[in-house]
């Protein structure tokens, strides 16, 4: 069954906040403890730990006098800590990420995950029932569909709490077939140029907030230098912590604006088109261009494509990615003649074969559509 996640802001009281922070600390301790044991075991015996060993060791730790305090928090959250460690090592062995590192309590973002057992995670009116925490007020922006599987409680750098609920959805209601296809050319000046001629404006969320963000960041730097000069611990400097949260709230607002924009646009495209053709962009390679890195990071092409893919899977739409080296902007979509690479400054050009006047971006999106439909026909 497909899974769907719902994210809500929660408003725990002081006792619940203290328990959340305590759970974060305990989960971090369990993760770091087993990571240290894994490193020692690998050096001495040439092999790491497995799930069975860590499960038995965690049970013994709860019975020992010096670590009996582990029983004060949700036991499933502690189990999820070594599950995360196993997943981190599996990804490392598959060369998907770097070697697992120890978690730090100085990290301003902390989270833990718990599972739904015996209906200990449930929605009751405008409150959410969570293990050990009881009923917590939350901003119910939408109804939850499906069976709740797990919940992740997260504390952000801005000082706010969020819960992400993962649900198992029996089936998504199929969208009506439109018999329409579209090619999309992703850009920086315009976020997306559709083969229909529509241009989706690049909202530039970071650039709009940049002036205010720079001003608040300078204040944070001055308070950091002052605390460093006086030899004070940053965790005890209330003015520094207050300014840090203010900067984090600005960054959080930018992230939420961008995510909202990408969600709305991807949902609109999935509803209107049965086939969506895109270029397979090398975003990591493009980010090495220091002149365009900030603009490329702000548009979040990869996140947009990811949202299109999972929504297409939900609603039985087709996403076709063409080769990143396909010369979409060099070919005339009318006659197929290739005129060669044009300078970036030339946005409108005339085909030397058929004389058609072409807009560089719209022509590219139409060529992406033509190539995508050709590839789709070749698929079994």
In 10 A of CB 64, how many CB atoms? Answer: 9
Task: Show Cβ contacts of residue 73 under 8 Å, excluding neighbours closer than 6 positions.
Answer: 19, 22, 23, 26, 27, 132
Choice among 216, 298, 361, 371 that is catalytic: 361
State both tokens at 281: 């962009």
Task: Show Cβ contacts of residue 329 under 8 Å, excluding neighbours closer than 6 positions.
Answer: 342, 360, 361, 363, 364, 367
The answer to whether residue 279 is catalytic is yes
Choice among 216, 279, 298, 371 that is catalytic: 279
Choice among 185, 274, 298, 371 that is catalytic: 185
State both tokens at 211: 């002036």
The answer to whether residue 268 is catalytic is no
Q: Tell me the longest C-alpha to C-alpha distance in the chain.
A: 85
Asked if 149 and 3 count as a contact pair (C-beta separation under 8 A), the reply is: yes
Nearest-5° angle of CA 7, CA 9, CA 13?
A: 140
Angle at which helix 238-272 crosses helix 301-314, to 10 degrees, equals 50
Edge-to-edge strand ranges of the sheet holding 275-279: 199-201, 190-194, 181-186, 275-279, 318-322
Asked if 38 and 30 count as a contact pair (C-beta separation under 8 A), the reply is: no
Helices (H), 234-358: 238-272, 283-286, 293-299, 301-314
Chain centroid, CA 145 distance in Å: 22
State both tokens at 215: 């001003």
The answer to whether residue 274 is catalytic is no
In 10 A of CB 97, how many CB atoms? Answer: 11
Which residues are known catalytic residues?
185, 279, 361
């Amino acid at each position: 069954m497909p899974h769907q996640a719902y994210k809500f802001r929660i408003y725990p009281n002081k006792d619940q906040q203290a328990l959340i922070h305590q759970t974060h600390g305990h989960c971090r301790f369990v993760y770091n403890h087993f990571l240290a044991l894994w490193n020692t075991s690998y050096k001495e015996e040439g092999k790491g730990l497995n799930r069975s060993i860590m499960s038995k060791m965690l049970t013994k730790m709860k019975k020992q006098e010096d670590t009996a305090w582990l029983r004060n928090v949700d036991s499933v959250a502690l189990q999820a800590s070594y599950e995360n460690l196993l997943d981190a090592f599996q990804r490392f062995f598959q060369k998907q990420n770097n070697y697992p590192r120890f978690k730090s309590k100085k990290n301003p973002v902390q989270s833990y995950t718990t599972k739904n057992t015996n209906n200990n995670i449930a929605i009751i009116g405008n409150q959410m029932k969570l293990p050990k925490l009881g009923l917590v007020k939350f901003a119910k922006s939408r109804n939850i569909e499906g069976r709740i599987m797990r919940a992740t409680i997260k504390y952000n750098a801005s000082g706010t709490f969020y819960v992400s609920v993962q649900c198992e959805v029996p089936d998504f209601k199929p969208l009506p077939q439109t018999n329409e296809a579209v090619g999309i050319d992703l850009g920086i000046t315009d976020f997306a140029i559709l083969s229909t001629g529509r241009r989706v404006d690049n909202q530039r969320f970071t650039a709009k907030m940049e002036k205010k963000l720079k001003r608040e960041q300078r204040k944070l730097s001055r308070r950091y230098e002052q605390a460093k000069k006086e030899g004070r611990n940053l965790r005890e400097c209330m003015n520094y912590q207050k300014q840090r949260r203010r900067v984090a709230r600005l960054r959080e607002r930018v992230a939420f604006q961008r995510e909202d924009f990408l969600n709305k646009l991807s949902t609109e495209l999935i509803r209107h088109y049965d086939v969506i053709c895109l270029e397979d962009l090398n975003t990591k390679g493009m980010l090495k261009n220091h002149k365009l890195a900030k603009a490329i990071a702000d548009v979040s092409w990869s996140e947009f494509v990811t949202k299109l893919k999972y929504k297409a899977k939900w609603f039985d739409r087709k996403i076709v990615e063409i080769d990143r080296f396909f010369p979409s902007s060099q070919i005339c979509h009318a006659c197929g003649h290739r005129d060669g690479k044009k300078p970036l400054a030339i946005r409108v050009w005339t085909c030397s074969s058929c004389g058609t006047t072409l807009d560089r971006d719209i022509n590219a999106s139409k060529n992406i559509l033509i190539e995508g439909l050709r590839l789709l026909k070749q698929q079994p």
